[in-house]
Amino acid sequence: FRRAAMRKAEEGLVSMCEERARMLQDQFAVSVNHVHALAILVATFHYEKHPPALDQDTFADYTARTSFERPLLSGVAYAQRVVHADRESFERQQGWIIKTMKHEPSPVQDEYAPVIYSQETVSYIEGLDMMSGEEDRENILRSRASGKAVLTRPFRLMSNHLGVVLTFPVYRDDLPSDAKEEDRVTATAGYLGGAFDVESLVENLLRQLAGNQELVVNVYDVTNNSNPLVMYGSEVPLGNPSPSHICMLDFGDPYRKHHMICRYRNKP
Ligand code: WA2
């Protein structure tokens, strides 16, 4: 009888974990797809119309009304690429100076990525150079070189919640589709991205599922297999003997690997 009960518990663990992994991956994927569409919106209305047919109010309105399409993102924003030679005219035109993510006036840099459009939920990044944060900067460089969506490792967002940042590059309209890395960098106009507030929005998602009380769910960035980084959940003490199940996750950035580990809260 005991073995049958154990097997039943194990099957339950596997199916609950797979359900959660599938839900998380799906909600992640729809959010990424919609950010992709926003990158195209900026390319179309900011860069392919002269003068630009987009402004902060329009961007804020559109992103607020479509936020249901991005269930795991706390907010999206557009940061423009500004090279140092253009800094002065950019600041004069905007009427504000570029600040670092520590809210200090930006020191001289080769280039900057100040946020010019933002969803109201992340309005605190308006005017900040997103290249002044290590994780955001790495994302910006990797996205523009590849032309693809990229994710940061998990880190404390400016909201103070644990999460990851998603970045899509936006290019000027003269970039050929078979462009080399070098041409991509030169043709970069800016970066459309958003913050996955994993800590609070994934909590919300899991709370709605049956069995939430009995299950402990952890998500890890295992890009570096010997140094797993917690992306969601609390650290489980090493040597925890209770049975666990691991589900692979695909968040769409082939450079990063993630997985979910589920356990019963109390040993079955
Ligand atoms: N957005 C919101 N909160 C953050 C954050 C971020 N980055 N970084 C740290 N906390 C405009 O890649 C371009 C958004 C960065 C995009």
Nearest-CA residue for atom 6 of ligand 1: 195
Closest CA to 63 of 80, 75, 47: 75
Run means of pLDDT, 10 residues per run, the chain, 268 residues? 93 97 98 98 96 97 98 98 98 98 98 98 98 98 98 98 98 91 97 98 94 94 97 76 92 98 82
- Residues near 217 by beta carbon (within 8 Å), at least 6 away in sequence: 17, 20, 206, 232, 233, 260, 261, 262
Q: Is 168 left (phi over 0), alpha (psi -120 to 50) or beta?
A: beta
Atom in ligand 1 nearest the alpha carbon of residue 77: 11
Atom in ligand 1 nearest the alpha carbon of residue 113: 13
ipTM of the shown complex: 0.99
Residues 232, 38, 84, 92, Cα dihedral to 10°:
-120
Sign for the CA dihedral angle at 95, 101, 103, 104 comes to negative
Q: How far is the CA of 125 from the centre of ligand 1 (A)?
A: 7
Q: How far is the CA of 100 from the centre of ligand 1 (A)?
A: 12
Residues in the chain: 268
Nearest-CA residue for atom 2 of ligand 1: 195
* pLDDT for the residue 1: 85
pLDDT digits (tens, 9 = 90+) for 25-74: 999 999 999 999 999 999 999 999 999 999 999 999 999 999 999 999 99
Closest CA to 127 of 103, 143, 144, 160: 103
Atom in ligand 1 nearest the alpha carbon of residue 75: 2
Find out whether the beta carbon of 198 lies less than 6 Å from any atom of ligand 1: no
Atom in ligand 1 nearest the alpha carbon of residue 166: 12
Find out whether the beta carbon of 140 lies less than 6 Å from any atom of ligand 1: yes
Determine the residue of 42, 82, 136, 160 to mutate for testing ligand 1's pocket, defined as the one with the most ligand atoms within 8 A of the Cβ atom. 136
Q: How far is the CA of 133 from the centre of ligand 1 (A)?
A: 9
* pLDDT for the residue 138: 98
Find out whether the beta carbon of 261 lies less than 6 Å from any atom of ligand 1: no
* pLDDT for the residue 236: 67
Nearest-CA residue for atom 15 of ligand 1: 193
Which residue do the tokens 């290019």 mark?
Answer: 171
Find out whether the beta carbon of 195 lies less than 6 Å from any atom of ligand 1: yes
pTM of the model: 0.96
